[in-house]
């Protein structure tokens, strides 16, 4: 049993957001230290000896990008020797969802810059972060088949069309508007409001909805089969 190892541990966060007419975006920061100085990378860093992995991720997200996140889950641990030029570094990657309009990104001392990038148009990335994002995108695409998605990504009140467009973006195919509405209603996770959408587009303004949090999280916990 090797009592002394020469392995270090980091965490990285893949935080996704949804911007209605733009698509799925991911949070990246610009590095201020070597290696990969000035490269775009996932927010993350070394784990402190006495903090949990989750604490490490939320700490790094706050200090590097000014983002306070409420939904976070573990994604995968990347441990191939050689993935970091400094030596053996194993990274536990996390997966998060936020509504980008809730934050103004604050590139703090630890990062030169912080910004949202469309996942279809990513810059060249540090380390194996491109691979990590690939795995996270897969997870996101699978998630919508067995869990409701939207609460973390959309505004408090939204027209159903926004939710539908989110699903179309993730599934990368058109969905029948009317059948989608029926299925969502059947899940009982939406609350109708007596407000209408402000005139952002032409045509009849849509009713606004919000999520029934209790029902939403109940479904999320139990799992559901949601084939659109």
Partner DNA sequence: CAGGAATGAGTTACATTTACACGAATTTTA
Partner DNA sequence: TAAAATTCGTGTAAATGTAACTCATTCCTG
CB 199, CB 183: distance < 8 Å: no
221 belongs to the binding site for a second copy (CB under 8 A): no
183 binds, among DNA, a second copy, none (CB under 5 to 8 A by kind): DNA
80 makes contact, choosing from a second copy, DNA, none, with CB < 5 to 8 Å by partner type, with a second copy
- Three-state secondary structure along 29-75? EEECCCCCCCCEECCEEECCCCCCHHHHHHHHHHHHHCCCCCEEEEE
Cα R_g (the chain), whole angstroms: 19
Q: Judged by CB under 8 A, which of 37, 48, 191, 200 binds a second copy?
A: 48
The single residue listed with the structure tokens 């599934």 is: 171
Q: CA–CA separation, 164 vs 160, rounded Å?
A: 6
Window contacting a second copy (CB under 8 A); options: 6-14, 64-72, 171-179, 182-190 = 6-14
Residue 222 interacts, among a second copy, DNA, none and using kind-specific CB cut-offs from 5 to 8 Å, with none
> For residue 110, how far is the Cα from the chain centroid?
21
Q: Is 160 in the site for DNA (CB under 7 A)?
A: yes
The one of DNA, a second copy, none whose footprint includes residue 134, by CB under 5 to 8 A per kind, is: none
Query: Among 6, 194, 199, 202, which residue interacts with a second copy (rule: CB under 8 A)?
Result: 6
Pick out residues in 70-99 that bind a second copy (CB under 8 A): 74, 76-77, 79-81, 88, 90, 92
Number of residues that bind DNA (CB under 7 A): 21
Query: Could you give the count of Cα atoms lying within 13 Å of 173 in the half-sphere of its Cβ?
Result: 5
**Cβ proximity of 154 and 98 under 8 Å:** no
Helices 129-143 & 160-171, crossing angle to 10 degrees?
Answer: 130
Q: Toward DNA, which CB reaches closer, 104 or 204? A: 204
Q: Which of residues 177-206 bind DNA (CB under 7 A)?
A: 177-179, 181-183, 196, 199, 201-206
SS3 109: coil
Q: Do 105 and 23 meet the contact criterion of CB atoms below 8 Å apart?
A: no
SS3 16: strand
Q: Does 47 bind a second copy (CB under 8 A)?
A: yes
**Parallel, antiparallel, or unpaired for β 8-19 and 89-97?**
parallel
Q: Closest approach of Cβ 228 to DNA, in Å?
A: 7
* Residue ranges in contact with DNA by CB under 7 A: 159-161, 176-179, 181-183, 196, 199, 201-207, 227-228
Q: By the criterion CB under 8 A, which residues form the site for a second copy?
A: 1-2, 5-9, 33, 45-53, 74, 76-77, 79-81, 88, 90, 92, 142, 145-146, 223, 225, 227
């Amino acid at each position: 049993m090797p009592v002394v190892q020469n392995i270090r541990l980091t965490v990285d966060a893949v935080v996704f957001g949804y911007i209605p007419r733009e698509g799925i975006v991911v949070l990246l920061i610009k590095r201020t230290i070597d290696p990969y100085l000035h490269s775009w990378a996932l927010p993350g860093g070394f784990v402190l000896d006495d903090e949990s992995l989750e604490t490490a991720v939320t700490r790094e997200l706050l200090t590097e990008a000014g983002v306070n996140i409420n939904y976070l889950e573990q994604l995968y641990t990347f441990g191939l020797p050689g993935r970091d030029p400094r030596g053996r570094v194993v990274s536990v990657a996390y997966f998060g969802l936020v509504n980008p309009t809730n934050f103004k990104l604050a590139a703090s001392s630890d990062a030169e810059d912080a910004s949202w990038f469309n996942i279809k148009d990513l810059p060249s990335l540090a380390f194996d972060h491109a691979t990590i994002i690939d795995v996270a995108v897969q997870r996101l695409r699978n998630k919508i088949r067995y869990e409701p998605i939207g609460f973390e990504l959309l505004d408090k009140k939204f027209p159903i069309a926004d939710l539908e467009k989110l699903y179309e973006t993730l599934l990368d195919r058109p969905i029948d508007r009317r059948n989608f509405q029926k299925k969502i209603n059947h899940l009982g996770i939406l609350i109708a409001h007596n407000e209408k959408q402000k005139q952002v587009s032409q045509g009849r303004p849509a009713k606004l909805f919000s999520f029934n949090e209790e029902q939403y999280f109940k479904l999320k916990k139990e799992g559901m089969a949601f084939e659109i």
